[in-house]
Chains A and B, each alone.
Chain A
């Protein structure tokens, strides 16, 4: 058995294939790093880069800190204490992520703009209008935080849920109070999953282009797109993206290094969390107030605004081909989700069973697709697929299919979305694996069970909450994904998100609202479905 583990296991081979698929488009991007330095790069560097990087840092830090603190608070509260309507509360707290930040940007822009909703309400109430400048860095941090927080909540909660109660009990027995237990024991232990969630949020902020453009805040993404769109210098744009990617990878590797030292193997991870207690009155009050405020700003206000805008949308054509749009959106969503989860499990499993430097590097590479603006990824994927198609042209001749068979099919879209959201799925699955250890796995193998059996009946049930989180995140992310879908889609292929773009891009926010609401509805439906699955399979 030992020998087998040292050799090339099938798992290793499969994972290597996946990693190659992820890396390939990035290779096509990195190659451009070696093209000669362009004049526009020098221009960008001289005039704007420093400012743009500063803006990016402000946004990323602000959003990271806010979502980190509040997200952890929500996750911990939900996981540790008993609440009324707990399941409902939990699902609702995840919902804001169904609203894409750039749509939220339009919504809050529309509320705080002169003659916006706030003005109208104040005028109705006979109060002098006040001017809140939402189109600012503070406003952007506010909007990003509201709608990205669920990433942190979901991933951290998945971890907290599986934390053995004994750890807390030991800490309390050894004389630490509750607060100190949380900050000195729980928090350090859960750093990995926390960082996982916050990193996703930060990357999302870093490569956003829609919201920052509307808000008039030039960021690093702006530099990339300005080089590309404004100065027609694709090489320069790719160079910027590649340097961004390198920085992200270095940060992640450093993080991984530090995390590696504090890692705990948890044999008892599946022990029951026991009966949840009620929180103290003050804690309850704080929790309810914060939850209410959060939901007010992240759901009630935006949905009301969207609903009102939808109601005054010009109805002509808005609902055209809704059936096929829904089918496209949901089928691509389901397929990509399944692929993302499957790849996440494979890579996570390799990392757990045969940890090595290679597998650790693999685990970090997964995040490649998430670390740079999607339009750049799109170019990489496009070039990769065209390359593959051209290599297969002989085969295509025999099969009598068109030259760019794969490139012009939905394969390319599914592929691109899968590598894009691999990070999402993997980060939450990894946080599931990280506290699982391999004792149960080894026990099962010793008892003579095969790999598949062991996975299905031993690992899978333990991992299930993490898998469900990964699935929700991936599915909702695909639902609202825009840049990749836009550019890689085949002819006449519309999704809900592309319809939102169609209208929002033309300042037709009323019509865009209709589709934004449908995205939210589909997400709600998916969340309900998943919470049923979760409820039905409590172990």
Chain B
């Protein structure tokens, strides 16, 4: 080994190192550095991650000059972040695609009531919290889809009827970890009591065509493939399937019928996407302005047409696709109860072995 070290050579090597350290430092500063923000703005924590939402925020900024800043993540993590940040939080608005999380935010004392005649005019009472702690932005229904070639819709009636012996081995549904299943069962707890809700879950598990797995789209594909005859899914995903850029998915969608259960009884289960003001947000007024915009006709039209969700503003019609499913009677229930009974629903699922 040669130990003949040229000082000059080493010096040059060191220079290279110093240079790369400088580059790294610059990179660090440019990443970490923060801009000056003196403009009006609304900061949102949201678990809705749709391009349509961003487009609406952009539109709002264009109209009002109020900048909308967004952090998207899971709603439970966001609530935890909001709670940890406490009085110092920068977030003004929390948006979730499940009413249970809005209810939970209220219970954790992270939100405050809004005071706006516009929102009250835009959103019907049953889609707002009674204390105005949250308001819905859009609605989705959890329906029974069936194979058009095999199932006569006249044999369908209620969610409860799916637990009858005739449906044994024919029902498809995703796992109980999914929030929409949880809110469905929570609604049964609220309407019929824990005992009956548990019986329903038990009965449904007994009739499952396979272990719950995959997402809503997968349930519908399995349905058309003949693995089951009915599937419990959200209307939203039926729309997604029918408007897929994949032709085969569209064909799958066309072999599916949508049935609104419990029309003769207590109505079809819905869940909402909604928003609440954070308790310590500094820009509440601008946030309310955004809520007024989002529940207004223009934005509601965009929600309805782009995302296959039902609008909350009654002046706005659902998209043609949703209208083609027909009108339906909505489950008559205080939506906050879905949040209140969520924990219990999860436990019932575990007890009856609904994976």
A residues bordering B, Cβ < 8 Å?
Answer: 40, 43-44, 47-48, 109, 113-116, 120, 135-136, 213-218, 222, 225-226, 228-234, 312-314, 316-318, 320, 328, 331-332, 334-335, 338, 375, 378-379, 382-383, 386, 389-390, 402-404, 407-411, 414, 447, 483, 486-487, 489-493, 498, 501-503, 505-508, 510
Whole-angstrom CA separation of A225 from B212 in the bound complex: 18
Are B346 and A226 in contact, CB atoms less than 8 angstroms apart? Answer: yes
In the assembled complex, B323 has its CB within 8 A of some CB on chain A: no
Q: Does B116 contact A (CB under 8 A)?
A: no
Chain B residues near A492: list those with CB within 8 A: 69-71
Known: A47-B351, A489-B71, A506-B50. A314 touches B245 (CB 8 A): yes
B residues within 8 A CB of A403?
88
A sample of 16 more A-B contacts (CB under 8 A), given A404-B88, A487-B73, A491-B69, is A43-B350, A48-B350, A114-B221, A114-B222, A214-B214, A312-B246, A320-B51, A338-B24, A410-B32, A486-B72, A487-B81, A502-B49, A507-B216, A507-B240, A508-B240, A510-B246
Q: Tell me which of A230, A332, A404, A486 contacts B342 (CB under 8 A).
A: A230
19 A-B pairs with C-beta separation under 8 A: A47-B347, A114-B225, A135-B214, A214-B213, A215-B213, A230-B342, A312-B245, A334-B27, A335-B27, A375-B74, A409-B34, A487-B74, A489-B73, A491-B71, A502-B72, A503-B49, A506-B49, A507-B215, A508-B240
Task: Report if B200 contacts A (CB, 8 A).
Answer: no
In the bound complex, how far is the Cα of B86 from the Cα of A489, in angstroms?
17
Does B88 lie within 8 Å of A507, measured CB to CB? Answer: no
Contact of B51 among A233, A316, A382, A483 (CB under 8 A): A316
Query: Once the chains are docked, how many angstroms separate the CA of A87 from the CA of B121?
Result: 67
A115 and B32 contact, CB distance less than 8 A: no
Considering only residues 200-219 of chain B, those with a C-beta below 8 Å from chain A are 211-218
Shortest B142–chain A CB gap in Å is 15
Tell me the complex Cα distance, A335–B51, Å.
30
Residues of A within 8 A of B194 (CB): none
Supposing A222-B177, A338-B24, A491-B71 touch, asked if A229 and B213 sit within 8 A by C-beta, the answer is no
B336 at the interface (CB under 8 A from A): no
A120 to B31, CA, bound (A): 46
Is A231 a contact of B175 with CB atoms below 8 Å? no
Residues of A within 8 A of B30 (CB): 331
B217 with A507: CB separation less than 8 A: yes
Given A331-B30, A378-B77, A382-B80, are A505 and B245 neighbors across the interface (CB < 8 Å)?
no
Q: Min CB distance, A45 to chain B, in Å?
A: 11
Instruction: List chain B residues, Cβ under 8 A from A382.
Output: 80-81, 84
- In the bound complex, residues from chain B placing their C-beta under 8 Å from that of A231 are 342-343, 346-347
Return the CB mask of B317-355 against A: 1 if under 8 Å, else 0: 000000000000000000000000011001100110001
CB B88 to nearest CB in A, in angstroms, measures 4
B55: min CB distance to chain A, Å: 7
Is A113 within 8 A of B221, CB to CB?
yes
Question: With A and B bound together, what is the CA distance between A386 and B24 in angstroms?
Answer: 26
- A317–B85 touching, CB < 8 Å: no
B182 on interface, CB distance cutoff 8 Å: yes
Tell me the minimal C-beta distance from B186 to chain A in angstroms.
11
- Interface residue? B18 (CB, 8 A): no
* Number of B residues, CB within 8 Å of A: 66
Q: Chain B residues near A506 (CB, 8 Å)?
A: 49-50
Contact call B246/A113, Cβ cutoff below 8 A = no
Most buried by B among A229, A338, A487: A229
Q: Determine the residue in chain B with the shortest Cβ distance to A387.
A: B84
Q: Considering the complex, give the chain A residue whose CB is closest to the CB of B31.
A: A331
Q: Does B227 contact A (CB under 8 A)?
A: yes
Q: Which residues of A contact B355 (CB under 8 A)?
A: 216, 218
B contact set with A: CB distance below 8 Å: 3, 24, 27-28, 30-32, 34, 43, 49-51, 54-55, 69-74, 76-78, 80-81, 84-86, 88-90, 104, 174-175, 177, 179, 182, 211-218, 221-222, 224-225, 227, 237, 240, 244-246, 248-249, 251-252, 342-343, 346-347, 350-351, 355
Are B218 and A109 neighbours in the complex by a CB distance under 8 Å? yes
Shortest distance between the CB of A135 and any CB in chain B (Å): 4
Bound: A317/B251 CA distance, A: 26
Q: A213-B177, A411-B32, A486-B72 are in contact. Are A510 and B51 (CB under 8 A)?
A: no
Alpha-carbon distance A365/B90, docked complex (angstroms): 34
Residues from chain A with a CB closer than 8 A to the CB of B27 are: 331, 334-335
A318 to B245, CA, bound (A): 14
Report whether A214 and B34 are in contact in the complex, using a CB–CB cutoff of 8 Å.
no
| Complex CA–CA separation, A215 to B90 (angstroms) | 37
> Which of A234, A316, A408, A410 is close to B31, meaning CB atoms less than 8 Å apart?
A410
The 10 tightest CB contacts between A and B, nearest first, are A216-B213, A114-B225, A230-B346, A491-B69, A486-B73, A317-B51, A502-B49, A403-B88, A487-B77, A47-B350
Chain A hits for B175, CB < 8 A: 213, 216, 218
A413 to chain B, nearest CB (A): 9
Give the residues in chain A near B78, CB-CB below 8 Å. Answer: 487
Cβ A115 vs Cβ B49 within 8 A = no
Contacts of A217 in B (CB 8 A): 213
CB distance from B79 to the nearest CB of A (A): 9
**Closest A residue by C-beta to B240:** A507
> How far does the alpha carbon of A507 sit from the alpha carbon of B240 in the complex, in Å?
9
Q: Which A residues are in CB contact (< 8 Å) with B34?
A: 409
Asked whether A491 lies within 8 Å of B43 as measured between CB atoms, the reply is yes
Contacts of A402 in B (CB 8 A): 90
Expressed in whole angstroms, the Cα–Cα distance for A226 and B348 within the complex equals: 13
Contacts of B213 in A (CB 8 A): 135-136, 214-217
Q: Return the contact of A109 from the options B43, B51, B214, B251 (Cβ within 8 A).
A: B214
Q: How far is the CB of A229 from chain B (nearest CB, A)?
A: 5
Known contacts A115-B221, A491-B90; is-contact A317 B74 (Cβ 8 Å): no
A289 to B86, CA, bound (A): 58
Max chain B C-beta neighbours (<10 A), residue from A225, A313, A508:
A508
What is the CA–CA distance of A114 and B249 in the complex, to the nearest angstrom? Answer: 10
